[in-house]
Structure 1
Amino acid sequence: MRAVRLSVVTAAATVAALTAVTGCAEKSDAKGDGAVQVVAKDDSCEVSKTKIPAGHVELAVENKGSKVTEVYVLFPDDRIVTERENIGPGTKATITAEVKAGSYEIACKPGMKGHGIRQKIEVTGAAAAERSPEMDKAVAEYRTYVQAQADETLPRVKVFTDAVAAGDIEAAKKAYADSRIGWERTEPVAESFGDIDPKVDVRADGLEEGQEWTGWHRLEKALWQDEKLGAEEKALAPVLYKDLVDWQNRVGKAEITSTSMANGAKELLDEVATGKVTGEEERYSHTDLVDFKANVEGAEKSYALLKPVASKNDAALTASLDTQFAALNTLLDTYREDKDSYEFTPYDKVGKADRKELLDAVNALAEPLSRLAAAVTK
């Protein structure tokens, strides 16, 4: 899910984690003629160019504000072309995207909330580079993977929502984490639609003003903290299922490119660093490590499909990614309750030192992963 408001203590810790997980982003100074300079402040979003050629576009982002920010390239209907969340104050990030001709908006979201401060841009002409059969194959296979994850998720969600509707707390608890795996593996694609994620995966402190709290985490709180399923919670069960059917029906139409796959993989690692490692994502059920593993699996799938091209362009990068993915997976597997299951140690049983070890492993992977999009566009 998207990052939310944090407590003062957590925010301080998270900014430190974000600086690490962004890796080389704060050292990046993409100032080539083709780069679009984006300066994000608390009250403005300055864009150096409003007309740019179609194809591979590079945004050189600098956060000169006092708040953690997000930067998006958006279609007119608010679907997401590409994004980078969690850009800390005083840091920089480079975003590489593949953009077709048309009208778009670049949005900065200081504090990672609300509609954002927006600038309209026009992308003109046709992409100059030839289509790559290898990249077309990677995108097609990833599209199949994303659809399969959605298709496989719905029956698991039905088990969960049926248990909630029936008032069966223990059955609902047992089905909860399993119902989220496919979503967590492909979350950047789900988030690209803009309107589904806030309905199904928002936490209480991520709600916009006037927004009704629905979705998984509303029911998670009822099950583990309130330990009751009243009429309101039972009524929310079919709403969650309906919203996820909408996701299933729309996911096959998502805009997917090689760069969105690479950026999405990095986003999944950011999700781990800012939600799972902190224990905030599943704060009632403590099933964070299930989400953690699913995020890593989704990132690794994107990487595996892009690797044939990335390895030709930057063999050292793919060697590093192979090593760091293996190390993180090995570490995560030590928390499995059973080596053949998807059950993990409850996160409230994971100590501070062990959480630091997990974060260090995420950071070690996130740094080279932040360079994957550039590698596939060389």
Structure 2
Amino acid sequence: MRPVRLSVVTAAAAVTALAAVTGCAEKGDAKGGHGAIAVTAKDDSCEVSAEEFPAGHVQLDIENKGSKVTEVYILFPDDRIVTERENIGPGTRASLTAEVKAGDYAIVCKPGMTGDGIRRQVKATGGTVAKRSPEMDEAVAEYRTYVQQQADETLPKVKVFTDAVRAGDIEAAKKAYADSRIGWERTEPVAESFGDIDPKVDLREDGVADLEPGQEWSGWHRLEKALWQDGKLGPEATAFADTLDKDLADWVKRVGTAEITPTSMANGAKELLDEVATGKVTGEEERYSHTDLVDFKANVEGAQKSYELLKPVAVKNDAALVAELDKQFAALNALLDKYRADKSTYVFTSYDKVAEPQRKELSDGVNALAEPLSKLAATVVK
């Protein structure tokens, strides 16, 4: 996960759907070209050129005029994350295209990519969203089944891990740790869309300062630290294991209620590559266990699943893009395979043993895939 998440507010669950896609950083009209809504992010403000706009296809032209790297979120009224655009550097611009149904939303800028962010309430009115094709409906249905399956299969793997923690068996817990995270990592954008679950189970230590008042750091990475850095398991670790079981059981129950559309699938695939670039390649995600390559592979698999399901639609609209994505997915998977002896297992080289030149090679492979993948969502709605 990324270091921090937005805090959760109490509100009625949204009944509207917003499927968004993020584009690559670009030069664009800062005032919002071609009818776009301009979002100007500064260190102390988040300005939007329109707080009310017609529902349908909406484009946000984002410009960071602040001095810090920023993120821009679109949120449902209950703070579920619809989509986000990360790592918008000072003086740079980015675009975000969304398919919006009528309803209330929030656009949030997060300077420094920490804290709760600066919110602007917006409303989409009237309008209609184009009916999906049968191929798109099929892709959504199959992806929903995949996400639920990954969640269902995670619980017993987590129980192997947490049972070892409760038994005080450090070596068994270490052995089960990475495997227990694979299903989560494959479908992380859907899990993160609920907003409140992700900080409970997947928060890294550097995000602790942004927890809600009174909320304790828990989850996988809290136990990772106990196992690899502290080297001991006691009553506190047992309590964290119990909490992890409970929070993930809640996730499994809620997965079926997630808003899933073709564009959110495509956007989620790109988000998974962003997860790799900002956490796995840097070694920050699994800083104690160094099992980053397991997460890396799971993120890529999740992105590829979304892509493969959308491919029948995408190939009709942009065959060249599909060819490039096929090429780059194959190249990145081949690169990852260099770090495991057996392709049938998830036993990868410990990431602290991967030298800087090899990390750079992995980063280049991620970037080569991320660029064409950022075009997938716009392609499927042509």
Shorter-chain TM-score range: over 0.9
Match of 2:26 in 1: 26
Shift of 1:367: 0.6
RMSD over equivalenced CA pairs, Å: 1.7
Match of 1:199 in 2: 200
Match of 1:125 in 2: 126
Shift of 1:232: 0.7
Asked if structure 1 preserves the Cα contact closer than 8 Å seen for 2:74 and 2:106, the reply is yes
1:315 is aligned, of 315, 319, 323, to 319
Instruction: Provide structure 1 residue ranges, at least 5 long, that are not aligned to the other structure.
Output: 6-21
Shift of 1:316: 1.4
* TM-score of the two chains, using structure 2 as the length reference: 0.91
For 2:294 and 2:273, the matched residues in 1 are separated by: 14
Asked if structure 1 preserves the Cα contact closer than 8 Å seen for 2:24 and 2:95, the reply is no
Shift of 1:269: 0.5
Work out whether 1:235 is the aligned partner of 2:235: no
Work out whether 1:289 is the aligned partner of 2:293: yes
For 1:55-70, what aligned pairs fall within 5 Å after superposition?
55-70=56-71
For 1:93 and 1:83, the matched residues in 2 are separated by: 11
Q: 1:251 is paired with a residue of what secondary structure?
A: helix
CA distance 1:336–1:28, shift in 2 (3 Å) = farther
- Quick check: 309-318 or 239-248, which moved more? 309-318
Asked if structure 2 preserves the Cα contact closer than 8 Å seen for 1:164 and 1:229, the reply is yes
Supply the AA of the counterpart residue of 1:54: A
CA distance 1:134–1:126, shift in 2 (3 Å) = farther
Match of 1:176 in 2: 177
1:269 is aligned, of 264, 270, 273, to 273
Asked if structure 2 preserves the Cα contact closer than 8 Å seen for 1:71 and 1:108, the reply is yes
Shift of 1:98: 2.2
Shift of 1:61: 1.2
Shift of 1:86: 2.0
Match of 1:280 in 2: 284
Supply the AA of the counterpart residue of 2:359: R
2:369 is aligned, of 357, 365, 368, to 365
Supply the AA of the counterpart residue of 1:71: V
Asked if structure 1 preserves the Cα contact closer than 8 Å seen for 2:56 and 2:128, the reply is yes
* TM-score of the two chains, using structure 1 as the length reference: 0.92
- Quick check: 83-92 or 235-244, which moved more? 83-92
For 1:83 and 1:23, the matched residues in 2 are separated by: 11
Asked if structure 2 preserves the Cα contact closer than 8 Å seen for 1:74 and 1:80, the reply is yes
Match of 1:374 in 2: 378
Supply the AA of the counterpart residue of 2:175: K
Match of 1:305 in 2: 309
Deviations 1:230-289 (A, max 9, x none): 211111101001000111000110111111111111111111011000111000000000
Asked if structure 1 preserves the Cα contact closer than 8 Å seen for 2:273 and 2:366, the reply is yes
Shift of 1:28: 5.1
For 1:223 and 1:343, the matched residues in 2 are separated by: 18
Shift of 1:115: 1.8
Match of 1:76 in 2: 77
Shift of 1:55: 2.4
Supply the AA of the counterpart residue of 1:224: W
Q: 2:62 is paired with a residue of what secondary structure?
A: strand
For 2:341 and 2:203, the matched residues in 1 are separated by: 28
- Equivalent residue pairs, number: 362
Supply the AA of the counterpart residue of 1:149: Q
Supply the AA of the counterpart residue of 2:37: V
Higher helix content, 1 or 2: 1
Match of 1:158 in 2: 159
